[in-house]
Amino acid sequence: MSMEILERLYGNIYYLTSVILFVIGFHTMLTHRNLIKKLMALNIMDTAIFLFFVAIGYRQGGQAPILLPGVTSFVNPVPSALILTGIVISVSFTAFALALVVLLYKHYGTLDSDEIIAIRGKKHV
Amino acid sequence: MFSLTHAPILMVVILLTAAFIVPLLRKHLLVAKALFLGAGLLVTILSFLVAWNVLENGTMVYNVGGWAAPHGIALVVDAFAAYVSLVISVISLVIFWFAVFAPREVKHEVGYYALILLLTAAMHGIVMAGDIFNLFVFVEISSLAAVAIIAVKGTKESIEASFRYLILSALGSGGLLFSIALLFMVTGHLNMDLMRQTLEVTAGQYPLNVLTALAFMVVGLGVKSALFPLHIWLPDAHANAPTASSALLSGLVVKVYIVALMRIAYMTLGMELFYLLPIRQILLVMASLAIVAGSVFAIVQDNIKRLLAFSTVAQVGYIFLGFSLLSARAVEGAVWHILIHAIMKTLLFLAVGVVIHQSGYKKISQLHGLGRRMPLTFACITLGALSMVGIPGTAGFISKLYLALGALDAGQAIFAVLILLSSLLSAVYYFPLIITAYFGHDASPTVVEPSLAVQLPLVVLAIAVLFYGLMPSILLPLVRQTALLITR
C-alpha cells in the first residue's frame, strides 16, 4: 500500500516538485518583509509554474520533436515554446519591479515593507 | 467597400506600432501628440466598423498569419468582444485627448503616451483573444503597462502603490498561468473553442484538474479586477496615479479582466460547467460584499480620488453581481454597466483631476464654494455623481434598473434590495462632494476654469451620461447579443 503511494508520487515527481516550489514561493512572498526577497519568491513561484507547464509536455524517453528516421517518441514542443514566452514575461516583470525597488529605496531609505508602510502612515496623520 | 477581414488585428497593431514610434519623437512633441491622437481615432473608427459588421454578419474569426485553429492563433470577435472593444476605444480616445491637452503631470510625456498606447492595445487584445495563451500574454502586457502608468508620476506614494499593485498583479498572473497549464493538461488545446469541445468529454474524467484550474483562474483574474477581498491594492493605486491614468485604470482596465473571465467562462468552460460548480454562489457573495464594503469605505474618505477609487470597488461588485445572477436582464445590466461605469467614472476622475490641478485641493472639506468658481467642471461632476447614485434620467439608472430587474427574474429579490441600499450609500458619499462645492462661503476666489480644450472631454462624457440615460436603445442590439452569448 505504502509502496503504491510512493510509486505514484515518484511517477508524478515533476508535478509534485512544482507544487512544492509554488507553495514555497507563495508563502515567502506573503510573509517576508524584504522587498528583494518578495521578488525572489515571485520568481520561484513563476519557475514552479514553468516546471509544471513543461512537465505536461514531457514524455519518458521522448526525443526533440524533429522528424528523423527511427525516432518515434517525441516530447510535446508546445508547452516548451509557451514557457519561453512565459520566461520573457517573468524577466520583464522582475526587471521592472527591481527598478521600482531602486526608486522605493531612494524615497524611503529602506527595503522593509512594514517600515515603508509606517513611514507612509506617519505622513497621513 | 473595402473588406473588414483584417480590422480586428489592425486595431491591436496600429496601437502597438504607435506605441513604439511615439517615444522616438521626443524632439517633435507636436508630431508625437498628433500620432497618439491619430492612432486612437483610427482605432475608434475601426472598432465602430467591426461592431457594425458583427451585428450584420455575426461573429468574426481572424486567423493570425493565415494559420487555422489547432495550429494558429485566432482572434474571435463576437458581440461581447465587439462591444467591449467599442467601449475601450471610445473612452480611451477621450482620455487620450485629455492626456494631450491637460496640464503635464509626468516628466516624460512621450513615454507616458507610449505606455497608454501599449495598455490600450493590450486591452483590445484581451477582449478579442480566441487563444487562451494569447490572452495570457495580453493580460501580462496590460498589467505591466497599468503599473507603469501609475509609477510615472514619480511621487513617493505612487511608487509604493504601484509596487504593491505589481506584486499582487504578478501573483494573479501566476494563478492565471497555472490554471491555463491545468486546462491544457486535460485538453491538449490552447484554442478556446477547441478547449471547450474537448472539455465536454474530459471534464468528467478529470474533475479535480478543472476545479483547481477554475479556482486559480477566478482568484488570478479576481485580484486583477479588484473583486472585494482582493481589492486592497486598488485604492492607493488609483488614487495616486496621474489623472489620465486613474481614469483609464478605473474606467477600463479593471473591467477588461472581468470580461476576460467571462469570455473564458463561456468560450472555454461552457457556462453549464462554470455554474455547476459553486463558483456562482461564491461570486455572488463576494460581489455583494464588494458593493457594501466599497460603499462603506468610500463614505469615510475625505480625499476625493480615494473616494472615487473605493466607489470603483463597489461598482466592480455590480458587474460581477450581474454576471453571476445569470438571468437575461441581470447579464444585460452587467454588460450595460461596463459601458456606463466607464463613462461616469472616467468623467469623475478627469473632472476631479482638473479641480485638483486648478485649486490644489485634494480633500472634500476644502472645496467650499468652488462650484461657483468652476461652474462647468462642477456641473459635469454633479451629473457624474447623480449618475453614480442612479437618479432616473442619467445613465447610471439604466444599468441599475436592469440589474435590479434581473435579480427579481432570478428569484433573488434580496439582491434587488442590496442594489437599492447601495444606491442610498452612494448618495451618502457623493452628495457631500456636491453640497460642499456649491454651498458654504467662497474660500478660494482666485481659482479659475481650465482652458476649453481640457473641458471638452468632460463635456463630451457628461453629454454621454445624459444621452444613455434618456435613450439607451442605441446600443441595445449589441448588449442583447452579448447577454445571449452568456446566458444561452
Helices (H), B102-155: 109-128, 132-151
C-beta of residue B310 within 8 angstroms of C-beta of residue B246: no
User: Nearest residue of A to residue B155 by CA position?
Assistant: A107
Q: What residue has cell string 482596465?
A: B253
Residue B99 pLDDT exceeds 60: yes
Which member of B147, B167, B181 has the closest CB to residue A49?
B181
**Whether B336 contacts B399, CB under 8 Å:** yes
**Per-residue pLDDT at A124 exceeds 60:** no
The long-range contacts involving B447-450, CB below 8 angstroms and separated by at least 24 positions, are B447/B358, B447/B359, B447/B370, B447/B373, B447/B374, B448/B358, B448/B373, B448/B374, B449/B358, B449/B373, B449/B374, B449/B375, B449/B376, B449/B377, B450/B102, B450/B103, B450/B354, B450/B357, B450/B358, B450/B377
Q: What is the helix (H) or strand (E) element at residue A60, kind and residue range?
A: none
Tell me if A38 and B177 make a contact (CB, 8 A cut-off). Answer: no
Inter-chain contact B148–A103, Cβ cutoff 8 Å? no
Contacts of B440 (CB under 8 A, 6+ apart): B368, B369
Residue A80: domain span: 2-124
Higher pLDDT among residues A97 and B106, named by residue: A97
SS3 content of chain B, % helix, strand, coil (to 5): 80, 5, 15
State the cell numbers at B390.
442612479
3-class state of residue B393 by DSSP: coil
CA distance A21 to B411: 45
Percent residues over pLDDT 70 in chain A: 96
Rounded to the nearest integer, the mean pLDDT of chain B is 88
Q: Which residue has the higher pLDDT, B437 or A48?
A: A48
Residue B29 pLDDT greater than 90, yes or no: no
Per the structure, how many domains does chain A have? 1
Here the ipTM equals 0.91
Whether residue A50 is predicted with pLDDT greater than 80 in this model: the reply is yes
Angle between helices B29-57 and B7-21 (to 10 degrees): 170
What residues of B are in contact with residue A83 (Cβ under 8 Å)? none
| Residues A77-115: tens digit of each pLDDT | 888 888 999 999 999 999 999 999 999 999 888 888 888
State how far the Cα of B57 lies from the Cα of B45, in Å rounded to an integer: 18
- With an 8 Å Cβ cutoff, are B157 and A101 in contact? no
Provide the mean pLDDT of chain A.
86
User: Which grid cell is B119?
Assistant: 495598455
Chain B residues lying within 8 Å of A85, measured CB to CB: 133, 137
Mean pLDDT of B281-286: 89
Distances (CA, A) of A40 to A21, A36, A100: 12, 6, 15
Q: Which residues contact B341 (CB under 8 A, 6 or more apart)?
A: B251, B255, B315, B318, B319, B399
Cα distance between residue B291 and residue B423, in whole Å: 10
Q: What's the confidence (pLDDT) of residue B280?
A: 84
Using pLDDT thresholds of 50, 70 and 90, give the confidence band for residue B301. Answer: confident
Query: Rg for chain B (alpha carbons), in Å?
Result: 21
Q: Which residue, among A27, A33, A37, A49, would best test binding to B if mutated, counting the most B CBs under 10 Å from its CB?
A: A49
Q: Any idea where the domains of chain B sit in the sequence?
A: 299-488
Band of pLDDT at residue A125, cut at 50, 70 and 90 = very low
Task: Give B152-208 pLDDT, tens digit per residue.
Answer: 988 888 898 999 999 999 999 999 999 999 999 888 888 888 888 888 888 788 888
Nearest CA in chain B to A57: B185
Q: Model pTM?
A: 0.93
Q: Count of CB contacts below 8 A, A vs B? A: 74
Mean pLDDT, rounded, for B448-458: 85
User: Chain B: nearest CA to A97, how far in angstroms?
Assistant: 7
As a whole-number percent, the residues of chain B with pLDDT over 70 amount to 99
CATH code of A30's domain: 1.10.287.3510
Banded pLDDT at B2 (limits 50, 70, 90) = low
Q: Is A66 buried (19+), middle (13-18) or exposed (0-12) by CB count in 10 A?
A: exposed
SS3 label, residue B73? strand
- Residue A123 pLDDT: 57
- CA distance to partner chain B, nearest, from residue A111 (Å): 11
How many DSSP H helices and E strands does chain A contain?
A: 5, 0
